[in-house]
Structure 1
């Protein structure tokens, strides 16, 4: 069963991102939104963890949140809200890390 994991909290305030990466299945994807996009700041520990996870085409970030925080998010594919909805339909379930 494939899962889209949605993370909205800063990776610098808690361990949701690292917990998610430990539990990630081989076909699961991660969507960063809100303050979670700070994980895409090059040189940071969360950025290194995302690189090590080798998500390739399975890492996404909401473009609006990247722009609001002046991040380019080169490691992730930037998507808008309609693409987020479409993405959520591609996976068997969506898990929001509240």
Structure 2
């Protein structure tokens, strides 16, 4: 059983991020959407996420809208909306952190 976690706040919302990280289990996936895409450009956040046995995703539209292309400190999977739907269907449950 795996969970897709979606988070939409930047890492400056420390309480939300810490709650999300505490819920991650091996095999889960984390999709950073909206302002959470900024996390992928922050080495400290991405280094912390690498400690978890999870897959990391970003929505391409959010990366583009925030001018982050070429500034990402990660090898996260960049996906589109259709792939987001597929990803959600591949997991037993989806938890949204807003």
Query: Corresponding residue for 2:47?
Result: 48
CA distance in 2, matches of 1:63, 1:15: 26
1:81 is matched with: 81
- Using structure 2 for the length normalisation, give the TM-score: 0.85
Q: For residues 52-63 of structure 1, what are the structure 2 equivalents within 5 Å?
A: 52-55=51-54, 58-63=55-60
Structure 2 residue aligned with 1:70: 67
Shift of 1:7: 0.3
* Root-mean-square deviation (Å): 1.6
Q: Aligned pair count?
A: 95
- Between the aligned partners of 1:52 and 1:75, the Cα distance in structure 2 is 14
TM-score, normalising length from structure 1?
Answer: 0.85
Q: Name structure 2 gaps, 5 residues minimum.
A: none
Unaligned residue ranges in structure 1 (runs of 5+): none
Structure 1 runs (4+) deviating above 3 angstroms are none
Tell me, yes or no, if the aligned pair for 2:2 and 2:92 is still in contact at 8 Å.
Answer: yes
